[in-house]
């Protein structure tokens, strides 16, 4: 499990920082560079002579050169990166600099090409370099570049609110724009508090959420986040937050491991238990992601979300689906709530709304929650300068147009099983314990011992993820995320335009790196690894 300081988002950049402190260049012919980028890499002047050392990978070399533009050194001086150990870059480490994106690929300042295995940060749904989205910004910027939605409105925000309301399930008709997913969560918490105060239920203020879930970094969103290591430095946070089990079936308690449906019911019933324990009249809300990200993609067992819905309805508690990641096609629907057939009272979303071309999020509330604000003098005492930004809204609308025109949701649905099958080929590698997820959103949990499901301890996890895996994946041309907020996992959430060819590319890189990880971290010899292909692939279909 994670160590107290192990919360950092371990994307590949972090691993480069904490690993060999040197930036990578592929030297094999299979290094993934196209002719164009290779030429650029060759022509780019290296200010400092390169020193090559051979890594644990025979075909990868690392260089300690500094590029002409010196982005890395400049970044170190003034750019404070998020969830990053800046100190790891201080002793000669080079910060990976991403300069360009094209479709499902990104390029670094050396011209090296990587497949974007996590859509930036679960965000670049339509991929990089979409002219239409850039044009949408240009057009709107020249018409009305900025205006707030504080007592005034403008056409793009109105159109986007209409569109989101029409796509959201049930009667979730009222859209409150934010600039991020965390702000949407914060907004939901505040709306719920005000709603109960003005409807005569002021004792309701407690919020229930799930273990290891991440809901953002602002004080309210952090309070309901279920990752102690992320919170400890900022406590005391907002009081009245309670945690219940998530739906990680692989790590279910031994007496609930036989039947996933039964496990789902057990998990949901823990919510009821918590409500009863705290007193229903004091509980305001339950926050769940339809498919939990943090910890490595925990899908909801069939019936789980319906049971949560029923419990919330029974006890007058607001059900919030935090769809910051799962909305906008990630699971093959505009909203994952639709996929799982549940209608919460609130949906929070962000990330993929603009495919990352503008920071934008929203809280979408149902008629019941809006009702006390519909008439009279009551306003929701909350807002953001950039909420509903006209250019952001224009991009979001163009994003949705492309979703429709190109059938993005249908594409994700039709390739979900092929993606899953491709990843499940990795079950022949001993370190692969569990592969789980849905749509274009998958987690691979690594274990020390597959038979017993024994996980790595904190030190081993640190070595595996920071010391080896993330860097090795990046060096081999895959930008993705190795995460230890729960047990160690690799997360994959590529742009929604990926095809089988890209899945194969991802699988090939993972295979190479995970075989090496098995050798290094499970002590499995190369000979044994060769014959590991005979280990029967585990299929969960
Ligand atoms: C489920 C969930 N909620 C909230 C957030 C916070 O979103 P943001 O970083 O846009 O504030 C995230 C970010 O990853 C998330 O995954």
| DSSP letter for each residue of 291-328 | SB-TTT-BPPPTTHHHHHHHHHHHHTPEEEEE-TTTTT
Q: How far apart are CA 418 and CA 139, in angstroms?
A: 39
Domains and CATH numbers, the chain: 1-115 (no CATH), 143-392 (3.40.640.10), 408-434+451-458+482-541 (no CATH)
Look at residue 527 in the predicted model and tell me its pLDDT: 78
Region 115-119: what's the mean pLDDT? 98
Residue from 122, 179, 181 whose mutation best tests the ligand 1 pocket (most atoms within 8 A of CB): 181
pLDDT at 327 over 50: yes
Region 294-305: what's the mean pLDDT? 97
Residues near 254 by Cβ (< 8 Å), separated by ≥ 6? none
More confident: 38 or 222? 222
Our measurement of the distance from residue 221's CA atom to the centroid of its chain's CA atoms, rounded to an integer in Å, reads 15
What does each C-alpha distance from 73 to 11, 66, 87, 512 come to in angstroms?
A: 20, 8, 13, 31
pLDDT at 32 over 50: no
Region 447-465: what's the mean pLDDT? 94
Q: Is 354 in the pocket of ligand 1 (CB under 6 A)?
A: no
Sheet containing 113-116, strands listed edge to edge, beginning at the edge strand earlier in sequence: 98-102, 105-108, 113-116, 478-479
Look at residue 293 in the predicted model and tell me its pLDDT: 97
In a 13 Å sphere around the CA of 268, the CA atoms on its Cβ side amount to 21
Please name the residue whose Cα sits nearest to atom 3 of ligand 1.
215
pLDDT category at 529 given cuts 50, 70, 90 is confident
What radius of gyration do the chain's Cα atoms show?
A: 23
pLDDT at 471 over 80: yes
More confident: 421 or 69? 421
Tell me the CA–centroid distance for residue 483 and ligand 1, in Å.
Answer: 15
pLDDT at 213 over 50: yes
How does pLDDT run across 44-85, given as a tens digit for each residue?
222 222 222 223 333 333 345 556 689 999 999 999 999 999
Q: Is 293 in the pocket of ligand 1 (CB under 6 A)?
A: yes
Sign, CA torsion 139/150/376/193 = positive
Q: Is 322 in the pocket of ligand 1 (CB under 6 A)?
A: yes
Beta-carbon count within 10 A of 402 CB = 18
pLDDT at 141 over 70: yes
Ligand 1 atom nearest 183 alpha carbon: 11
Sign, CA torsion 133/135/140/141 = positive
Q: How far apart are CA 224 and CA 207, in angstroms?
A: 7
Ligand 1 atom nearest 216 alpha carbon: 6
Q: Is 123 in the pocket of ligand 1 (CB under 6 A)?
A: no
Q: Are 215 and 287 in contact (CB under 8 A)?
A: yes
Look at residue 8 in the predicted model and tell me its pLDDT: 40
Look at residue 91 in the predicted model and tell me its pLDDT: 79
What does each C-alpha distance from 391 to 38, 168, 386, 398, 474 come to in angstroms?
A: 36, 22, 10, 11, 33
Nearest to 442 by CA among 305, 310, 307, 296: 296
Look at residue 92 in the predicted model and tell me its pLDDT: 78
Q: Is 289 in the pocket of ligand 1 (CB under 6 A)?
A: yes
Q: Are 303 and 267 in contact (CB under 8 A)?
A: no
Sign, CA torsion 85/87/93/98 = positive
Tell me the CA–centroid distance for residue 216 and ligand 1, in Å.
Answer: 5
Q: How far apart are CA 398 and CA 140, in angstroms?
A: 11
Look at residue 93 in the predicted model and tell me its pLDDT: 82
Look at residue 257 in the predicted model and tell me its pLDDT: 96
Q: What are the start-end ranges of the H helices in 26-99?
A: 35-43, 71-78
Please name the residue whose Cα sits nearest to atom 11 of ligand 1.
182
Look at residue 466 in the predicted model and tell me its pLDDT: 87
pTM for this model (two decimals): 0.88
Tell me the CA–centroid distance for residue 122 and ligand 1, in Å.
Answer: 9
Q: Is 390 in the pocket of ligand 1 (CB under 6 A)?
A: no
pLDDT at 10 over 60: no
Region 202-207: what's the mean pLDDT? 98
């Amino acid at each position: 499990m994670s160590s107290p300081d192990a919360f950092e988002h371990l994307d590949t950049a972090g691993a480069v920082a904490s690993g060999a402190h040197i930036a990578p260049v592929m030297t094999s012919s299979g290094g993934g560079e196209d002719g164009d980028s290779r030429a650029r890499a060759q022509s780019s002047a290296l200010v400092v002579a390169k020193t090559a050392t051979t890594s644990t990978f025979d075909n990868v070399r690392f260089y300690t050169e500094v590029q002409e533009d010196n982005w890395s050194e400049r970044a170190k001086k003034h750019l404070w990166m998020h969830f990053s150990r800046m100190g790891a870059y201080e002793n000669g480490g080079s910060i990976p600099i991403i300069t360009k994106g094209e479709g499902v690929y990104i390029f670094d300042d050396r011209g090296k090409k990587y497949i974007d295995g996590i859509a930036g940060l679960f965000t670049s749904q339509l991929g990089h370099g979409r002219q239409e989205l850039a044009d949408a910004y240009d057009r709107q910027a020249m018409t009305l570049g900025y205006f707030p939605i504080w007592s005034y409105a403008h056409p793009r925000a109105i159109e986007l609110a209409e569109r989101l309301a029409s796509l959201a399930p049930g009667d979730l008709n009222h859209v409150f724009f934010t600039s991020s997913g965390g702000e949407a969560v914060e907004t939901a918490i505040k709306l719920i508090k005000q709603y109960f105060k003005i409807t005569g239920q002021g004792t309701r203020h407690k919020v229930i959420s799930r273990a290891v879930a991440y809901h953002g970094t602002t004080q309210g969103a952090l309070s309901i986040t279920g990752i102690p290591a992320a919170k400890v430095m900022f406590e005391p946070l907002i009081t009245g937050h309670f945690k219940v089990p998530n739906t990680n079936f692989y790590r279910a308690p031994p007496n609930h491991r036989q039947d996933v449906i039964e496990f789902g019911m057990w998990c949901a019933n823990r919510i009821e238990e918590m409500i009863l324990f705290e007193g229903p009249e004091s509980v305001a809300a339950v926050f769940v992601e339809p498919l939990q990200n943090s910890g490595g993609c925990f899908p909801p067992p069939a019936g789980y979300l319906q049971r949560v819905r029923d419990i919330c309805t029974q006890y007058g508690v607001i059900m919030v689906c935090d769809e910051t990641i799962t909305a906008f096609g990630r699971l093959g629907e505009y909203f994952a709530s639709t996929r799982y057939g549940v209608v919460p009272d609130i949906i929070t979303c962000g990330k993929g709304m603009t495919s990352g071309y503008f920071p934008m999020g929203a809280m979408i509330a149902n008629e019941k929650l809006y009702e006390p604000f519909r008439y009279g003098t009551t306003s929701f005492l909350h807002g953001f300068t950039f909420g509903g930004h006209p250019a952001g809204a224009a991009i979001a609308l163009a994003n949705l147009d492309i979703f429709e025109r190109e059938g993005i949701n249908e594409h994700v649905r039709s390739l979900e099983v092929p993606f899953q099958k491709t990843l499940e080929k990795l079950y022949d590698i001993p370190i692969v314990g569990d592969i789980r997820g849905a749509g274009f959103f998958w987690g691979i949990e690594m274990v020390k011992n597959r038979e017993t499901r024994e996980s790595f301890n904190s030190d081993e996890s640190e070595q595996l993820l920071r010391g080896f895996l993330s860097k090795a994946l990046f060096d081999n041309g895959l930008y993705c995320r190795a995460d230890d907020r729960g047990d160690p996992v690799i997360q994959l959430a590529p742009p929604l335009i990926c095809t089988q060819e890209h899945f194969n590319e991802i699988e090939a890189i993972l295979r190479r790196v995970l075989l090496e990880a098995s050798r290094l971290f499970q002590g499995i010899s190369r000979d044994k690894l060769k014959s590991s292909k005979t280990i029967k692939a585990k299929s969960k279909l």
